[in-house]
Structure formats: C-alpha cells, structure tokens
Amino acid sequence: MMKINRLAAWTLGFAGMAFLMPWQARAEKHYGPGVSDTEIKLGQTMPYSGPLSGIGTTGRTELAYFAKINAEGGVNGRRITLISLDDGYSPPKTMEQVRKLVEQEQVLAIFHPLGTPTNAAIHKYLNQKKVPHLFLGSGLVRWADPKNYPWTMPGVPMYRTEARIYGRYLLSTRPEAKIGVLYQNDDSGKDALAGLKDGLGSRAASMIVAEVSYEPTDPTVDSQVITLKGSGADTFAIFAAVKAAAQALRKAPGIGWRPLTFLIGTSSSIEQVIKPAGPNNAIGVVSTHYLEDPSDPRWNDDAAMKEYFAFMKKYFADGDPLDILNARGYTMAQLMVQVLKQCGDDLSRENVMRQAANLKDVELPLLLPGIRVSTSANDYLPFKQLQMMRFDGTRWALFGEILER
C-alpha cells in the first residue's frame, strides 16, 4: 500500500510538473540591458540648448509622463527611468551622448530622440549595436526601412507624405499657383520638397518658381523670404523648423507679401511659432496634424483633453499645457508605454522591436478622431493619417477628411 501511495504521489508530482512546465516556460523572463525586476531604463537626446531649445519641452513632458506612470505602479511592476540628455541639436554631441547612454548607462532603447541631422548621426551606430531606435522626432522616409535598418522606427508623420498632400491640394484648388519654397538645408527640408514635387506631378516644374534653402544655424531667414517674394510667387511653402518658420511667417507680411502659405505640421505650434510670428500674420496659413490641439477650445469638453490638462497641472506645472509640443510628448510617451506593456516579461531588445512593429489600430487619447496607430514587420510608419487645418487668427480650424499616405 505504501508503495502504491508513493507511486501515486510520484505520478501526481510528475503530472503536476508536466502541467507547470509550459506555464513556467511562458513566464520565463528575458531581460535586455537596462532592465531588472523593478526598472526599465531608456535613453534620449533632446535640444535643451541651441537653436531649437524651445522643442526641449517635449522631452520634459515625457519625463513627467513616465513619473506619472511610475507613481501608478509602473509598467508590469517596473518603473521607467528615462535618461534625457542635452545634445544642443549638434550631431557630434548627439553621437557622444548616445554612446554614453548605450555603452555606459546600458539603456534598453533610445526613445524619441529629436532632430533630423542628430538622428542621422546615430542611425547606423544604433543599428550596428542592435539597440532599438524608437519613435524618432523626425519624419524622414528613410527612417522607415525595416529591411536595411530594422532597429529604427519614426514617431511622426513623414514630411514627404505631408508635402505630397499640399501638392495634391494645390492641383485641385489652385492649379495655376506660382510656388516659392523655403526649406531647411538638410534631409528633412529636402524630403518635404520632394514630396511637394511628387504631389504636383508633371506640373511641378512649372508651378514651383523658386526654391531657397537656409541653414539651421542661420540667425534669420529674412533674405530668403525677400528672394522668394521677388520670384513672383503667390504661394509660399515653409518647410522649416520652429524658429525659422516663425521668422518667415512674420517677415512675409512685413515686406507686403501675403501669399497662400503652407506650413509643415511639425512647426505648427501656436505657442512656439504662431505667437512669435504674430497671429495676424498667420491668418489663412494651411497645415496638417494628427493630434488634438490643446489650445483649441473645441476640445475643452473632451475627456481625454481634460485628463491631459490634469496631468500637466500635477506633473509638469512649469510647462505650457496649450503648447502642442507638450501634447506630442505626452502622446509619444503613451505610445512607448504601450510597447512596453505588450512586451510583458520579455524585455529583450529584440522583443521591444517586435512589439513596436506589432501595433494594431492603437487608439491614443489625443489623436484626432479617426486616426489610429498601426505597424507591422514590413510597415514601420506608425502615423499614416493626417487632417488639414487652417489658422483663423485664434486657432487651427480643421477641414476636409482624414487623409492617408
């Protein structure tokens, strides 16, 4: 009898182990650098100083949002530590800071580093090191190349997609337009210019009468705007970063030039661009976006917007809640949290990229109605939808349908 009991006990124990083994295998933890049972360490560079220092508010919002997540228990019980370093919008400094984050701080991933030339400086390095280079604050088409650069994924709509929309809009509404283009002399400006030409198609050569570039370090773009006015253009495309965009919007009416103006969406901030330019100088300007604008009173009763304002008041009281750059940082941090949640206990660098490429119609609170985030192993473009908008002197007024690339 004792033998039978022992046998039964052994059999039941073996069966129990067999039952538990698949669960234990599923629950096994896989950690990459910067991860423990209590922490997920991320890295970032931001222009907290230099010519684009105003955009640094985006990084401060992201730090504040992760502080909120940590206060609520973190992601799957782990707090998020974001090490956000100043690169002054200088590519060599960006490279120096990212090396420090990867090789000394041992971060799991680089999250939402801002800038086109700065991201270009670290693009190959991070892919060679197989470090997730996620949700870049730059809209170059080449960031979304999973075949050749599987560790990089952009975090804003493509400049080329947006500018293509402007070209198509002009063909349908002002086919005889004479277009003058101001663009930043880097890949971001050139991508936007290429998109405009794509949208205009065979009419591009006749409709674009002038293309003038500027350097990010130029103190002003006044001379470029004067040149564009002198070209006879009646339509003005501004593919410029915030400081230069504000200068261009202010200068044009100052010299008696009031063309129909298109402004790249990443520079559509009322606080950072429109107010410095003078709201009256921006009346009628056309742009696009994918987020609800916190400065637009139409969203005052929106539950998601109320939650955003409450967050800003509690966690980033020094920040301007009306600045859409802060709304953007809030949204990007939420997207990163979504990826980390999907990772579960497999927080390897490989799984971080798998989950970033496995977003299925994700609804983020401040996205415009109808806009969703989706990615796949062959599609590294999270944001593929935009809506056009026109500045009415006080706010951006949306018009038309949601447009896709």
158-192 residue pLDDT tens: 999 999 999 999 999 999 999 999 999 999 999 99
**Three-class SS state of 349:** helix
80-133 residue pLDDT tens: 999 999 999 999 999 999 999 999 999 999 999 999 999 999 999 999 999 999
Closest to 61 (Cα-Cα) out of 326, 257, 340: 326
- Residues of the chain above pLDDT 90, percent: 88
Residue type, 264: I
- Residue carrying the six token digits 């949204």: 331
Confidence tier at 215 by pLDDT (50, 70, 90): very high
Closest to 75 (Cα-Cα) out of 341, 383, 399: 341
Instruction: Look up residue 106 and give its DSSP letter.
Output: -
For helices 187-200 and 159-173, give the axis angle rounded to 10 degrees: 30
> What is the number of alpha carbons within 13 Å of residue 51 lying toward its C-beta?
18
Q: What is the distance, to the nearest Å, from the Cα of residue 54 to the centroid of all Cα atoms in its chain?
A: 16
Model-level pTM? 0.85
Element holding 53 (H helix, E strand): none
23-46 residue pLDDT tens: 333 457 899 999 999 999 999 999
Confidence tier at 405 by pLDDT (50, 70, 90): low
Q: What is the mean pLDDT of residues 45-55?
A: 93
Residue type, 333: A
Q: Is the dihedral of CA 118, 124, 129, 135 positive or negative?
A: positive
Q: What is the mean pLDDT of residues 52-58?
A: 93
In angstroms, the Cα distances linking 259 to 239, 272, 336 are: 15, 22, 40
Confidence at residue 368, expressed as pLDDT on a 0 to 100 scale: 95
Query: What domains does the chain contain, in order, with CATH numbers?
Result: 39-157+299-384 (3.40.50.2300), 159-289 (3.40.50.2300)
Please state the length of the chain. 405
Strand partners, 263: 238
